[in-house]
């Protein structure tokens, strides 16, 4: 069906940072494949599975996914695995005019501050490169998307958001159970000060990683690619990448 002209010329790389959330993955992949296919969005789902022993690094995984997503995709969705769109009017089409924040603050069930760009964000590959991707300095949970907002502004881009969506905070299903999946929110040593700085040096240009394996598989009939990713950390530069 994706070869039909009605599906349009663009192809989305859905980049999903992941670690040890298997139950959410089983729900996410078939749901998003059906949702995007119904909207006639050509797409490829990439599960970016961090398999090293460092703390979780969402931003670096997205950088890796961008670099490994291939030339047959021309835009990306930075997409949390625990957030499912419920409203069929949400727009996942090619964001030619600039970054498009699908999970906008007035719709996201948890985060409502005006500079929020996490959850689900669409960018053309050209615009992501213009920002030099995301900072690799954010190990543990949080703050990397706030820094990326500053990168977007610094690149002269304007964040756009959905309009005419009337479902409010019922627009998405949030699968995360904080009692079952505790987030790594610890701030270690200099990390407390560094988390509010803008990284003007790093991003796509210096992400350090190795692909342990690349597997194409089907989840309840929905195709996806799982990248098992070993990130690397310079402990002199970001000693908070470990708990040691």
Choice among 125-129, 145-149, 187-191 with the minimum mean pLDDT: 187-191
Q: Across all residues in the chain, what is the average pLDDT?
A: 90
**Size of the chain, expressed as the number of residues it contains:** 244
Determine if residue 50 is left, alpha or beta; phi over 0 gives left, psi from -120 to 50 gives alpha, anything else beta: beta
Mean pLDDT over residues 168-176, rounded?
A: 89
CB 107 within 8 A of CB 45: no
Q: How far, in whole angstroms, is CA 172 from its chain's centroid?
A: 16
Percent of the chain with pLDDT over 70: 90
Given a cut of 90, whether residue 244 has pLDDT beyond it is no
Domain locations in the chain? 12-241
Q: What is the pLDDT of residues 60-113, one digit of tens each?
A: 999 999 999 999 999 999 999 999 999 999 999 999 999 999 999 999 988 899
Q: What is the gyration radius of the CA atoms in the chain, in angstroms?
A: 17
Tens-digit pLDDT profile for residues 120-130: 999 999 999 99
Please check whether the domain covering 12-241 is classified as CATH 1.20.1050.140: no
Of 172, 24, 154, 28, the residue nearest 105 (C-alpha): 172
122, 79 in Cβ contact below 8 A? Answer: no
Q: pLDDT tens-digit profile of 36-53?
A: 999 999 999 999 999 999
Which range has the worst mean pLDDT, 143-152, 178-187, 190-199?
A: 178-187
Which span out of 5-19, 64-78, 180-194 was modeled with the highest average pLDDT?
A: 64-78
Alpha helices in the chain (DSSP H): 22-38, 58-68, 125-130, 144-154, 191-194
Tell if the pTM clears 0.85, that is, is over it: yes
pLDDT band per the 50, 70, 90 thresholds, residue 176: low
Strand, coil or helix: what is 84? Answer: strand
């Amino acid at each position: 069906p994706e070869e039909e002209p009605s599906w349009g010329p663009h192809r989305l790389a859905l980049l999903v940072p992941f670690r040890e959330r298997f139950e959410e993955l089983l729900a996410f992949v078939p749901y998003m494949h059906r949702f995007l296919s119904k909207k006639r969005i050509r797409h490829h789902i990439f599960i970016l599975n961090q398999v090293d022993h460092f703390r979780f690094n969402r931003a670096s995984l997205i950088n890796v996914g961008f670099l490994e997503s291939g030339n047959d995709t021309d835009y990306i969705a930075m997409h949390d695995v625990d957030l499912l769109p419920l409203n069929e009017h949400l727009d996942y089409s090619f964001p030619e005019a600039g970054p498009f924040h699908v999970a906008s603050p007035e719709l996201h069930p948890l985060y409502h501050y005006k500079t929020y760009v996490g959850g689900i964000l669409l960018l053309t590959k050209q615009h992501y490169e213009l920002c030099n991707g995301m900072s690799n300095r954010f190990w543990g949970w949080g703050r990397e998307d706030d820094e990326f907002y500053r990168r977007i502004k610094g690149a002269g881009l304007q964040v756009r958001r959905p309009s005419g969506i009337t479902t409010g905070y019922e627009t998405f299903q949030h699968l995360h159970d904080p009692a079952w999946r505790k987030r790594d929110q610890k701030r270690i040593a200099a990390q407390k000060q560094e988390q509010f700085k803008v990284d003007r040096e790093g991003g796509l240009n210096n992400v350090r990683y190795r692909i342990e394996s690349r597997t194409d598989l089907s989840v309840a009939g929905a195709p996806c690619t799982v990248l098992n990713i070993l990130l690397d950390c310079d402990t002199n530069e970001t000693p908070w990448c470990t708990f040691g």
